[in-house]
Amino acid sequence: MEEAAECGPNREEVEGAIRPCLITICESAPDGFALSPDVLKLADNQYILPNCGPYTRYVPAFNYHCDFTLLMDDDLLLGRRIVEHFVHWAEQKPDASLLGQMGRIVKDRYEWREVAGSATDFTPVGMVVRAYFVRTAQLYTLKLFRQAWGKPIIEDDMALTWGIHMFTAGGIFLTPDSRDAEEKVIAEELPSPLAISQLPNHLRIRNEAWQEAKALSARVTKENLKSRAAAKEPDADRVEERLVFGISVHKESAEQVASCLEQLRRVYPGVQGFMIGDGTDDERYRNLCASRRFDYIAGERLKLLGQRANGGSGSST
């Protein structure tokens, strides 16, 4: 069983609450471990799924629609003010895509070593674990990573981490530590005899997944750079060959018309253009166009259309 808590926008000022939250439970436990109906009904959203492994929490990811999503393991109890804690610090750090309180700095190898956070500053890390607070808009990176990965994902926290690394410019940080137990992601540890972290080869699996994702990221980055280099911007001459500007005027001042034409000539010096007048000042408009290499079309057609719109008679072809 995995859980995800969504934090939505504040609809009204409510004393003692920063944001209302929606609770989503993704349940895929086998018989004998499934949650009871009484527990399930406490959630706003329930997803009863076949066992998709650690990726289960992400299956309904595109139905999470609030500003932030808090994803957590099922073997811990959160502090009572952890949501307020994360919302506060996320709003102080708009360049952060992913926040947590427990993280890893991975250099050559993935190691099970906690990173000490700061009491006052954000701490950049390679990834966060156990519970993580993400800007919901960044969850699309999971789909991109899954497509690039090309096989079932075992390490769910690494999937989100590498999606963020590969497809956004946002950072991953530990939030400042308030030392308040009610603002901890782990207020209490719960028994987890079946957790994959208990497997004897857990660290080896984690390290292999990290190294493979790192190599994938380098390959995707290289391919993207090659694609951008191949798709050069067309030069200005080619753009101008494909453009013709047509402008109509109706009682605009000579100054307005002259300013418009001059601006177009500055941006597109070689583009073709024409102007249709309204028949009220054809000679002046024609002179303005001639000095700026625009063709001018006298406005008899526009005059006739204007008469018809005002209930007059006339025909146009």
Q: How far apart are CA 13 and CA 298, in angstroms?
A: 61
C-alpha distances out from residue 227 to 89, 142, 168, 220, 222, Å? 37, 22, 18, 10, 9
Q: How far apart are CA 291 and CA 261, in angstroms?
A: 10
CATH tag for 2-229 (out of 3.90.550, 1.10.730, 3.40.109, 3.20.20) = 3.90.550
Residue 239's pLDDT band (cuts 50, 70, 90): low
Instruction: Of 31-45, 128-142, 222-236, give the range with the top mean pLDDT.
Output: 128-142
Environment class of 317 (CB within 10 Å of its CB; exposed 0-12, middle 13-18, buried 19+): exposed
Contacts of 98 (CB under 8 A, 6+ apart): 128, 132, 133, 134, 135, 138, 160, 161, 164, 170, 171, 172, 173
Is the pTM higher than 0.75? The answer reads no
Neighbour count for residue 188 (Cβ, 10 Å): 10
**Residue 302 — φ and ψ, nearest 5°?**
-65, -35
**Residue 177 — φ and ψ, nearest 5°?**
-90, 110
Residue 142 pLDDT exceeds 50 = yes
The one-letter code for the residue type at 192 is S
Place of tokens 């674990």: 129
Instruction: Tell me the average pLDDT across 182-209.
Output: 84
Q: Determine the pLDDT at residue 13.
A: 33
Q: Determine the pLDDT at residue 101.
A: 95
**Residue 96 — φ and ψ, nearest 5°?**
-90, 130
Q: How far apart are CA 7 and CA 63, in angstroms?
A: 13
Q: Which residue ranges make up each domain of the chain?
A: 2-229, 236-309
**Tens of pLDDT, residues 87-136:** 999 999 999 999 999 999 888 777 777 888 888 999 999 999 989 999 98
Residue 5 pLDDT exceeds 60 = no
